[in-house]
Amino acid sequence: MLIARAAAERSPDPYVIVGAAAFREDHSIISTGYNGAPSGVEIDWSDRDARRPYVIHAECNCLKYTKPGEPYYLYVTLLPCTNCLVLCAAYGVKQIVYDFLYERDQEALKNAEKFNIILRKFQPKLSTDHSFPI
C-alpha cells in the first residue's frame, strides 16, 4: 500500500487523491498510477464537479502499463468505482486491496463477486522490527 500511496502523491486533484499499484502473483511490481488529466489536457481543478468527466482514474493509469492477465493484485488507496472494477476484471485482476471506502460509489462491493475479484480492506501490519507499518 505504501507504493500506491506514493503514487497518489503525484495527483494534482485537490479533492480526491488516489494512487494504485499493480503486482504480479509473485508480488513483483508491474506499474503504478494516480488520478489526473489525460496527457496534454488542462483541467480546471478548482471546480470539483466540472473536473470529473476529464479525470483518468488511478486504476486506469496503472493498468494501461500492464498486459491483460499480468496483474494479480491491485493496491488502491480508494475502493475502485464500478467502471474501474470492470476494467480490473478485463485485465484479470484477482485481488484488490483498498485503503479507504469510496462513499460515492459502493457498487464495487457488490459487483466484485460477479467478476471473481476478492476485495480486501487494507490492514496495516508491523514489520519485523515493529517500527514501521507496512
pLDDT digit string, tens, across residues 95-128? 999 999 877 777 778 889 999 999 999 998 765 5
- The verdict on residue 134 lying in a domain is no
- What's the rounded Cα separation, in Å, for the pair 60 and 67? 12
Structural domain containing residue 35? 2-121
- The verdict on residue 131 lying in a domain is no
Number of compact structural domains in the chain: 1
- The verdict on residue 127 lying in a domain is no
- The verdict on residue 126 lying in a domain is no
- The verdict on residue 94 lying in a domain is yes
Kindly provide the b/e burial profile for residues 7-25, where b requires at least 16 CB atoms within 10 angstroms of the residue's own CB.
bbeebebeebbbbbbbbee
- The verdict on residue 116 lying in a domain is yes
- The verdict on residue 53 lying in a domain is yes
More confident residue, 55 or 105: 55
Reported pTM = 0.89
CATH number of domain containing 45: 3.40.140.10
